[in-house]
């Protein structure tokens, strides 16, 4: 049996939630039945090419979206060469462009998926709002990682009519389960045995509110001298964050570990996770952290759908840094003696990779059958 060919439009593939989400689906589908090709912008920093090839997939690189004419031309060549049954685009409002190319190439199933929303304080919001109504134009299937994202991009009417299919953000819950031995080993390696470790993994961007995150931690450090901030990631605001760390005099309490893929050990080593974002879709890191038994601190701008168990805390961005610090320290101190894995609870809430991947696979097959009758 020849697997159904599906083009996954990734855009820029860097370390982070979108990459993890797509790869979790890919690892758990039956690749004898459906097979993915990954269409990635050429300036991507973290394409797992070796793993994709090992699993039978292919990677195609196209011009970055900033050169949209070349980007669309590259995609058109790839679509014509491969005759895909499905094109599934994960770039939210930017899906307009691959959907247009897919329709011109007579791809029968064209899926526009929403993974994020927007915030008035972010300069990208103007562009997103312009593209939002057009992101539906050439698609014939609509998908989102959660209800809030689906309503934001596709509108209440389409959502209420049942025309937006929700496939939750998924994580490998068992892989991210709490492991006391890994915790002990990692904390010993980094000298954190007697520390309260506040963690963050992600892109350092305006959306993630990265500089304000440093200010929140400074308030924690003022109240708890043994607090440490573990930072993993990279991004355009890295230099601003490092300057803020120096200005606030907390350099000795910050462990910047750069961009890395071996993050499971750090979830175990942390005592809580901080994500004061201006907006999110349904963040992968939140689900991974909660699976590992970490108190998770979101801003109230993040959807409540991200709270997969009782470990989620939501604090307003208007609240003072002291309010954040007090709640962080209270939750850490309460959870540390009784910490356990919450992987089963997160899976039971519908966020497990294996079950959702099989549902996605069934969705692809049924959509293609319907469109090619």
Other Cβ atoms less than 10 A from the Cβ of 286: the count is 30
347: closest CA among 77, 119, 28, 54?
Answer: 28
pLDDT, mean of residues 263-270: 97
CA distances from 338 to 43, 180, 295 (A): 44, 11, 12
Q: Does domain 4-170+352-371 have CATH number 3.40.50.2000?
A: yes
Q: How far apart are the first and last CA of the chain?
A: 20
pTM value is: 0.83
329: closest CA among 341, 319, 321?
Answer: 321
Residue 367 region, left (φ>0) first, then alpha (ψ -120 to 50), else beta?
Answer: alpha
Residues 26-43 pLDDT 10s: 999 999 999 999 999 999
User: ∠ CA(322), CA(250), CA(223), 5° rounding?
Assistant: 35
Helices and strands in the chain, H and E counts:
15, 13
Question: Which residue's structure tokens are 């230099």?
Answer: 239
Give, in words, the CATH class of 180-349: alpha beta
Name which of 15-24, 85-94, 122-131 the model is least confident about.
122-131
Residues 271-285 pLDDT 10s: 999 999 998 888 889
123, pLDDT greater than 60: no
- pLDDT reported for residue 85: 97
Mention every residue, 6+ apart, whose C-beta is less than 8 A from residue 320.
219
Question: Which residue's structure tokens are 């990692």?
Answer: 186
Going through the chain in order, the beta strands assigned E by DSSP cover 4-11, 34-41, 58-62, 86-89, 109-114, 141-144, 164-166, 196-203, 227-234, 254-256, 272-275, 296-299, 312-315
Residues 245-258 pLDDT 10s: 999 999 999 999 99
Provide the percentage of residues in the chain whose pLDDT is more than 90: 77
Other Cβ atoms less than 10 A from the Cβ of 183: the count is 22
Name which of 126-130, 164-168, 247-251 the model is least confident about.
126-130
Q: How far apart are CA 227 and CA 292, in angstroms?
A: 20
355, pLDDT greater than 80: yes
Say if residues 228 and 196 touch (Cβ distance below 8 Å): yes
Torsion sign, CA atoms 97, 102, 104, 109: negative
Q: How far apart are CA 100 and CA 96, in angstroms?
A: 6
168, pLDDT greater than 90: no
> Phi first, then psi: what are they for 212, rounded to 5°?
-60, -35
Q: How far apart are CA 212 and CA 317, in angstroms?
A: 9
Sequence ranges of the domains in the chain: 4-170+352-371, 180-349
pLDDT grade for 44, boundaries at 50, 70 and 90: very high
Q: How far apart are CA 232 and CA 274, in angstroms?
A: 12
pLDDT, mean of residues 285-312: 93
Q: Confirm whether 4-170+352-371 and 180-349 share one CATH topology.
A: yes
Q: At what angle do helices 353-371 and 17-28 cross, to 10 degrees?
A: 80
8-state DSSP, 2: P
283: closest CA among 189, 174, 217, 209?
Answer: 209
Mean of pLDDT over the chain: 93
């Amino acid at each position: 049996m020849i697997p159904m060919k599906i083009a996954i439009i990734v855009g820029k593939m860097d370390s982070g939630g979108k990459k993890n989400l797509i790869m979790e689906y890919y690892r758990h589908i039956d690749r004898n039945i459906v097979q993915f090709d990954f269409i990635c912008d050429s300036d991507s920093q973290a394409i797992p090419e070796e793993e994709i090839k090992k699993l039978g997939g292919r990677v195609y690189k196209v011009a970055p979206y900033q050169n949209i004419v070349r980007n669309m031309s590259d995609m058109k060549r790839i679509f014509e060469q491969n005759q895909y049954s499905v094109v599934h685009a994960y770039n939210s409002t930017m899906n307009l462009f691959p959907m247009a190319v897919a329709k011109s190439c007579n791809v029968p199933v064209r899926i526009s998926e929403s993974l994020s929303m927007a915030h008035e304080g972010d300069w990208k919001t103007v562009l997103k709002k312009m593209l939002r109504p057009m992101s539906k134009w050439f698609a014939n299937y609509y998908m989102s990682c959660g209800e809030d994202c689906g309503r934001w991009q596709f509108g209440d009417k389409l959502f209420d009519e049942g025309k937006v299919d929700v496939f939750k953000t998924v994580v490998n819950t068992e892989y991210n389960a709490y492991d006391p031995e890994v915790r002990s080993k990692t904390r010993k390696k980094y000298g954190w045995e007697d520390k309260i470790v506040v963690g963050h993994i992600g892109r350092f961007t305006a959306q993630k509110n990265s500089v304000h995150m440093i200010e929140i931690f400074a308030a924690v450090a003022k109240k708890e001298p043994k607090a440490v901030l573990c930072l993993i990631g990279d991004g355009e605001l890295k230099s601003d964050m490092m300057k803020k760390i120096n200005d606030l005099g907390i350099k000795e309490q910050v462990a910047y570990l750069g961009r890395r893929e071996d993050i499971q050990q750090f979830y175990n080593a942390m005592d809580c996770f901080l994500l004061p974002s201006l907006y999110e879709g349904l963040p992968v890191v939140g689900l991974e952290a909660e699976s590992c038994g970490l108190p998770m601190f979101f801003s109230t701008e993040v959807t409540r759908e991200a709270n997969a168990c009782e470990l989620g805390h939501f604090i307003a961005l208007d609240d003072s840094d002291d309010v954040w610090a007090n709640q962080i320290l209270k939750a850490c101190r309460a959870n540390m003696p009784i910490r356990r894995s919450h992987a089963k609870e997160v899976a039971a809430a519908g966020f497990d990779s294996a079950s959702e991947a099989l549902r996605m696979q069934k969705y692809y097959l049924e959509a293609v059958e319907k469109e090619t009758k």
